[in-house]
């Protein structure tokens, strides 16, 4: 096995572990010597991998972006950059800024050939859209999603009728024509999507009695069902 392949396998062996893993166990998994593990860990750390630990105690890979050239094929580079271009066109100010920084970080660790591919991509997203103005920053919705708190929202429909809903915010959706909040609606006792430009006011309430990860899985199942029946979700 090449050294680059061994380094990739070492990262994969460490990824997802919550407790430090010893060099002896890593050496056994990769079928190499402990000395090789020590040398490879030092090399990965020198390249910027967020590895913590020491000999005799063990090592753990902390969360964080680490993309050495060996981890991205040409097609993977194409997919990542297409996604970032899409975000730059359709995201809000926060996501556009994050996409720009991410693009710079990724480019910095790619090979010269991959960097040339970024400058002359094979794929591009469609033309950018102009989105309706939001009454409030999406940061408020992001914070509510992260904090898993219920929201009391005032919402207007296409006929400008106003309703009040108590919702459990789950995700933000960036569509071609609008941005939406995906949430559990207490009034409808079901999942609903609300256009963010039609949320005219919101008040944070208490933490909702569910785990967001569970709600995300249920929401995906719900949306898959709507797609099978060719039904478009809305806030009604």
Alpha-carbon distance of 223 to 234, in angstroms, equals 11
What pLDDT, on a 0 to 100 scale, did the predictor assign at position 211? 92
Average the pLDDT over 159-171 and give the result. 91
Checking if the pLDDT of 27 tops 70, the result is yes
Angle at 218 between CA 213 and CA 219, to 5 degrees: 95
What pLDDT, on a 0 to 100 scale, did the predictor assign at position 114? 77
pLDDT digits (tens, 9 = 90+) for 100-146: 888 887 777 677 777 787 888 888 888 777 778 888 789 999 999 99
What pLDDT, on a 0 to 100 scale, did the predictor assign at position 68? 55
Residues 195, 136 contacting (CB under 8 angstroms): no
What pLDDT, on a 0 to 100 scale, did the predictor assign at position 73? 74
What pLDDT, on a 0 to 100 scale, did the predictor assign at position 232? 53
pLDDT digits (tens, 9 = 90+) for 183-197: 999 999 999 999 999
What pLDDT, on a 0 to 100 scale, did the predictor assign at position 185? 96
Alpha-carbon distance of 225 to 215, in angstroms, equals 15
- pLDDT confidence bin for 69, thresholds 50/70/90: low
Q: Measure Cα distances from 2 to 8, 9, 51, 211 in Å.
A: 10, 11, 21, 43
Average the pLDDT over 12-17 and give the result. 79
The percentage of the chain sitting over the pLDDT mark of 70, rounded to a whole number, equals 90
pLDDT digits (tens, 9 = 90+) for 222-236: 888 877 766 555 666
Q: Radius of gyration (Cα) for the chain, nearest Å? A: 23
Domains of the chain: 3-61 (1.10.10.10), 73-119 (no CATH), 138-229 (2.30.30)
What pLDDT, on a 0 to 100 scale, did the predictor assign at position 146? 95
Residues 165, 110 contacting (CB under 8 angstroms): no
The pTM for the full model equals 0.65
E strands along the chain, which residues?
51-54, 58-61, 149-156, 162-174, 179-185, 190-195, 199-207
Element (H, E) at 109: helix 93-109
> Who wins on pLDDT, 129 or 48?
48
Provide, for the chain, the percentages of residues in helix, strand and coil under a 3-state DSSP scheme, each rounded to the nearest 5.
45, 20, 30
Residues 69, 109 contacting (CB under 8 angstroms): yes
Average the pLDDT over 5-25 and give the result. 83
- pLDDT confidence bin for 65, thresholds 50/70/90: low
Average the pLDDT over 204-213 and give the result. 94
């Amino acid at each position: 096995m090449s050294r680059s392949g061994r380094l990739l396998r070492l990262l994969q062996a460490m990824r997802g572990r919550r407790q430090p893993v010893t060099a002896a166990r890593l050496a056994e998994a990769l079928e190499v010597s402990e000395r090789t593990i020590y040398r490879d860990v030092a090399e990965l750390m020198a390249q910027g991998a967020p590895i913590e630990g020491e000999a005799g105690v063990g090592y753990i890979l902390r969360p964080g972006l680490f993309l050495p050239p060996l981890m991205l094929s040409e097609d993977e580079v194409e997919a990542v950059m297409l996604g970032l271009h899409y975000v730059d066109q359709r995201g809000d100010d926060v996501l556009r800024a994050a996409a720009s920084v991410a693009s710079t970080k990724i480019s910095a660790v790619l090979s010269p050939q991959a960097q040339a591919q970024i400058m002359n991509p094979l794929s591009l997203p469609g033309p950018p859209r102009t989105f309706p103005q939001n009454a409030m920053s999406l940061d408020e919705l992001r914070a509510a999603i992260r904090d898993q708190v219920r929201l009391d929202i005032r919402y207007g429909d296409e006929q400008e009728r106003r309703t009040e809903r108590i919702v459990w915010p789950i995700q933000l959706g960036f569509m071609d024509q609008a941005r939406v909040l995906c949430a559990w609606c207490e009034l409808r006792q079901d999942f609903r999507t609300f256009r963010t430009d039609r949320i005219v006011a919101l008040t944070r309430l208490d933490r909702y009695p569910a785990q967001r990860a569970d709600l995300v899985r249920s929401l995906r199942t719900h949306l898959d069902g709507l797609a099978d029946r060719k039904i478009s979700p809305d806030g009604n």
